[in-house]
Amino acid sequence: MRIHPGKDDLEELTAAWTGERFGSGRPRVPDDVLASLRLATTEEAWGHLFQAGYVRQFAGGWRETHPGTVIVGRAVTAQFLPHRPDFDGVVVAAGAREGHLEGDRQNSWVIETLEDGDVMVVDIFGKIVEGTVVGDNLGTAVASRTGVGAVIDGGIRDLQGLSQLPGGVNIFHRDVDPTPIRGVTLAGINIPVRIGGATVLPGDVILGTPTGVAVIPAHLAAAVAASSEDTRVRDVFGKQRLSERRYTSAQIDVPTWADDIESDFQQWREEQNA
């Protein structure tokens, strides 16, 4: 057994991605694409993904350590299962072979792998009591390593401390409890996991907004960024033309504009970029 899949395994798992990769084999969506996606809304991202056939890419119903703070980053996934002694023994042995210290809690193994721009995505089957993946100490480690945060389908503790993490960081979670994490075993890092109704692969781009968490496959991230930018620009144009009373709402608030409005938009866009 391996805690971390091999490079070849990750490349096979994420074969749709043809761009740059980390040394581990995880997709590395470019920083400029991440920056563009920080301006996207959940609805813009979801709309493009839905049209592309990815219809289960959203999970809602979260609490946040920093409500309203949008996060965007590359997923590092992890899954925990209910503790079973024989399986846990196998995991501890595998972790030792891969350089993890037996005395360290297995949730810290995940944090050790994080890099700048990552989002730690943890499936701990919605466990709250004794399912607290991070408190203020490990949360500080996540924040310092990633500059982004985490999505935890389970619990956290020390909310008062976590809420004081620096700006730009946010941890999406299901609920808060004072108990420490226990009664679980790490099943793997950078493996497919389920968050709500969405499947997350390592290297997917996580877009966390007040609406919820959108999971953008790495190979679609650039297209989603471009599509959301186009939507934002069209929205500015449409509102301007409505305020000028050039067009009616019935003409603007449609999926596809008439040819004369589209031509007007393209000319307007060229003028804005001049």
Residue-wise pLDDT tens digits, 219-250: 999 999 999 988 888 899 999 999 999 999 99
Strand pairing report for 149-156 and 170-176:
parallel
Q: What's the pLDDT score for residue 104?
A: 77
Q: Identify the band that residue 177 occupies on the pLDDT scale cut at 50, 70 and 90.
A: very high
d(CA 20, CA 9): 16
pLDDT higher than 80, residue 9: yes
Class of domain 7-39+53-217: alpha beta
Which residues of 23-125 form beta strands (DSSP E)? 58-59, 63-64, 71-82, 118-123
Q: Are 74 and 203 in contact (CB under 8 A)?
A: yes
pLDDT higher than 90, residue 166: no
Residues annotated in the binding site, as ranges? 135-138, 157-158
- Give pTM, 2 decimals: 0.92
Residue whose pair of structure tokens reads 């599509």 in the numeric block: 227
Which residues of the chain form beta strands (DSSP E)? 58-59, 63-64, 71-82, 118-123, 149-156, 170-176, 184-189, 193-195, 198-200, 205-209, 212-216
Domain with CATH 3.50.30.40 in the chain: 7-39+53-217
Residues annotated in the binding site for Mg(2+), as ranges? 158
The mean pLDDT of 140-165, rounded to a whole number, is: 97
Residues annotated in the binding site for substrate, as ranges? 135-138, 157
